[in-house]
Amino acid sequence: MEFQKLYDFTYSLTKLYEKASDRTSFVEGIKSAFSLFFAINEIKIYLLDEYSFLLKDFTKPWENLLDDDFTNEIKKYYDDFLFKKSKYIALDNILYFPIVYKNKTLGLIKIKAVEKINENNDFFKIFPLISAQISMYIVQLKNNEQIKISSKFHQTIRNIAQITQTQYELDYILPILGEMIDGFIQEHLIYIFIKNKNKKYKLIWPKKCFDNKIYDYLEEITPKSSVIIKEEGKMGIFPLIVDLKTYGAIVAYNHFDKINDKELEYLKEIKSQAQITLTSAKSYVEILKNATMDALTGYNNRNQFEKRLKETTSTAKRQNQPLCCIMSDIDYFKKVNDTYGHAVGDCVLKNVAKTIKKELREYDIPSRYGGEEFVFLLPQTNIEEAKIVAQRLRSAVESKKINIEEYNIKDTKEISVTISIGVSEFDKNEKDYEMLYKKADSALYEAKESGRNRVVVKN
């Protein structure tokens, strides 16, 4: 056999291990390396799952193999490698060989060649080296994945702990919690439920849940519940309980496999941190009853806005002066959080608030209404003037470059966002003073529905 071929094969596997970004690219790389010896149609790797003790497709570990003749054949060859210690099995144009590491048979590799496999092929002369090298790389790849999972878990815990630095409303916190958990626990369906005033469980993340039996299981939660396991171990219900009061629940569901011990450990830790976060939010709400400013933006908080709204509408009516309201929302803000993380999301909120503040007059009243939504009261301003102000705010935000270098986002040093805006004018004949911002909110909805990054006026 040519030394060059051996060198090329070994070198290609080494470079593959360095560059492969995921399991699929790893398998494609092995296929490319093997093409030095065979014209290959397909290559498959099957590994024994350490928790379910089932053979699984290396690139789709979340799926169980079908109970059919093909799977039974795979199991038969695996058992042959496990008990008879065969080096390989060649059948016409198909080759099977085991993945062995430290004398443990971890799985097998199937190669489907274009033509009948010749056992005098150079491949078989260096087979022990090939088998050992691939087995070692697969184990190292799995170990690296576990390190990344552990790192991601701790980052998720930190992110959950930091939510209440900027948010305190359950309707906002719990969906963020769902996004964070779903980004970490990707092999399971994740649902977040909140318990409403009527003591009924309402899905708050994601938008839909098609398993109605989950709602029945949720009714089994008591103030002393820790974790409820259902569906033969495939579903875990993790109640969110603070001071013996149930605020909601996290549900993890895998239709194929039981939740394994490691996943259960992760989810218990996440539940525990989520409960600490809810406790902090609860305490923060009590503090905010006497506070007037939003800690993140320096604007009035929602409670203070409601007080200023009543004052300014009363003044406008008494002095017969115009008054307008602007409501704005950062477009696709969820995508910012999903793409760059919630720390960058907070940075965006701060910068947008700062950019807008520069465009307002000293006596205008800026408030953070909630999440990424802002509301501005413009005393002594008619609707035409307010429309000009709104366009100025929109343009200023659109042209602002937000520096995010400190967050070490790969290939991204700055980002831009846009805002949608709704504008309304106070009707002095309207008995309900809250209609001022409600009309602006309705106009904001129209702005978002009609394409975003625009101003809509509600006459």
CA distances from 272 to 161, 162, 184, 189 (A): 10, 14, 16, 19
**One CATH from 1.20.1600.10, 3.30.540.10, 3.30.450.40, 3.90.230.10 for 3-145:** 3.30.450.40
* DSSP structural state of residue 347: H
Strands 189-195 vs 245-253: parallel, antiparallel or unpaired: antiparallel
Catalytic residues: 372
pLDDT tens digits for 237-263?
A: 999 999 889 999 999 998 888 888 888
Q: Is pLDDT above 70 for 349?
A: yes
**Integer-rounded Cα radius of gyration of the chain:** 30
Q: Is pLDDT above 60 for 447?
A: yes
Angstrom distance (rounded) from CA 146 to CA 428: 64
Angstrom distance (rounded) from CA 222 to CA 298: 40
Q: Which amino acid is at 132?
A: A
Query: Strand, helix or coil at 108?
Result: strand
Q: How far is CA 218 from the centre of its chain?
A: 24
Instruction: Give 241's Cβ-side CA count (13 Å radius).
Output: 15
pTM score, two decimals?
A: 0.61
pLDDT tens digits for 64-101?
A: 888 888 889 999 999 999 988 788 999 999 999 999 99
Which tokens is 374 given?
A: 């802002």
For 166-288, give the CATH class. alpha beta
What angle do the packed helices 127-162 and 23-34 form, to 10 degrees?
160
Pick the closest to residue 126 from 37, 42, 28, 215 (CA basis).
Answer: 37
Q: Predicted confidence band at 454 (pLDDT cuts at 50, 70, 90)?
A: very high
- Could you tell me where the beta strands, DSSP code E, fall in 243-313? 245-253
- Return the pLDDT at 288: 62
**CATH 3.30.70.270 applies to domain 302-458:** yes
Which tokens is 368 given?
A: 């953070």
Angstrom distance (rounded) from CA 317 to CA 50: 72
Provide mean pLDDT across the span 146-171.
Answer: 79
Q: Is pLDDT above 70 for 435?
A: yes
- Return the pLDDT at 3: 66
The answer to whether 147 and 326 are in contact (CB under 8 A) is: no
302-458 has the same fold as 166-288 = no
Provide mean pLDDT across the span 155-183.
Answer: 78
Q: Predicted confidence band at 113 (pLDDT cuts at 50, 70, 90)?
A: very high
- Return the pLDDT at 166: 63
φ, ψ of residue 353 in degrees (nearest 5): -60, -40
Extents of the domains making up the chain: 3-145, 166-288, 302-458
Q: For residue 422, what are the β-bridge partners?
A: 327, 456
Q: Is pLDDT above 80 for 164?
A: no
Angstrom distance (rounded) from CA 312 to CA 253: 50
Pick the closest to residue 398 from 442, 351, 361 (CA basis).
Answer: 351
pLDDT tens digits for 2-51?
A: 567 777 877 887 787 777 778 888 898 888 888 888 889 999 999 998 87
Which tokens is 135 given?
A: 């087995």
* Nearby residues of 322 by Cβ (< 8 Å), 6 or more positions away: 316, 380, 381, 382, 383, 425, 426
